[in-house]
Amino acid sequence: MNGENLRTKRPVLGVCPSLPGYGFSDKPAAPGWGIERISDAWCELMARVGYRRFGAQGSDWGTSIGQRQPDRVAGIHLMPPLAPPDPATLDDLTGAERAALATLREADEWGSGYSAQQSTRPQTVGYGLVDSPAALCAWIVEKFWSWTDSGGDLHRVITRDELLDNLMLYWLPGTGASCARLYWESLRQVNEWISGSAGAPVTVPTGCSVFPKELQRPSRRWAERRFPNIRYWNEPGKGGHFAAFEQPALFVDEVRSFFRLVR
């Protein structure tokens, strides 16, 4: 997240908090840490370190910060914007929209087991994730293999050492269970946004980067129904769900390209 520091009047280089229950953050000791509370916590964090307005970058959990305190958010960059297909377009789909819908159907049939488990019984799998490094490795690395733009050879884009570094952020602090609980807290709400059955429009300036191997790949006309203030839209030629990890230079270019327009 970037902003203007009230104490120094100089632009901030970046504040990079980790989600509660993940990485370097503490584990929530009670229910209630869903995406809206986390968004409020990020706004409070930015205020306490002296930033009046800021821009936020997020992946699929990142929308709500633009809804909660839009007067403080200069813009949000999302990859991708979570937006459902527009029913009015279903008789006039582009080739890219057909491909996006086919990817969603395949993912729902063959790749959604982890999500169903974590959103309904996260503790059950959680005990295994904090007890067995083999279980943790299998649970996480399968998603890297499935969701990266690697052509089936994961190590073309992420090295073994990089994967181990990532896994250790779960293993050493024992966050396999606590991070799974975010799905239990918030996935139903996110699915309502995706289905179009809930969720007010997000009106803050929005930048959208839709990578080719992302599961959610809304077209711009679909996204504009939920994000009516899109200032930047791009569909890079390579990258998947973990674009910031597998294509860091391209990711940085996307973020900078958007925030140059709104700072």
51 is catalytic: no
149 is catalytic: no
Structure token pair of residue 209 = 């980067």
Residues 6+ apart with CB under 8 A from 174: 130
Nearest by Cα to 230 from 238, 241, 218, 240: 218
Q: How far apart are CA 75 and CA 80, in angstroms?
A: 15
Structure token pair of residue 249 = 């230079």
| pTM of the entire predicted model | 0.90
Nearest by Cα to 143 from 173, 167, 127: 167
Q: What is the pLDDT of residue 6?
A: 46
Which contacts (CB < 8 Å, 24+ apart) does range 164-173 have?
166/140, 166/245, 167/133, 167/136, 167/137, 167/140, 167/141, 169/22, 169/23, 169/24, 170/129, 170/136, 170/140, 171/133, 171/136, 173/23, 173/24
Q: What amino acid occupies position 32? A: G
Per-residue tens of pLDDT for the chain, all 263 residues? 665 554 455 555 689 999 999 999 999 999 999 999 999 999 999 999 999 899 999 887 877 888 888 999 999 999 999 899 999 999 999 999 999 999 999 999 999 999 999 999 999 999 999 999 999 999 999 999 999 999 999 999 999 999 999 999 999 999 999 999 999 999 888 777 666 655 678 999 999 999 999 999 999 999 999 999 999 999 999 999 999 999 999 999 999 999 999 98
Candidates 51, 170, 183, 232; catalytic one: 183
Residues 126 and 176 sit within 8 Å (Cβ to Cβ): yes
Q: Which domains does the chain have, with CATH numbers?
A: 2-259 (3.40.50.1820)
Q: How far apart are CA 181 and CA 122, in angstroms?
A: 6
Candidates 60, 155, 161, 232; catalytic one: 60
77 is catalytic: no
Q: What angle do CA 24, 69, 65 make, to 5 degrees?
A: 40
**Burial (CB count <10 Å: 0-12, 13-18, 19+), residue 181:** buried
Half-sphere exposure in the Cβ direction for 153 (13 Å, CA): 2
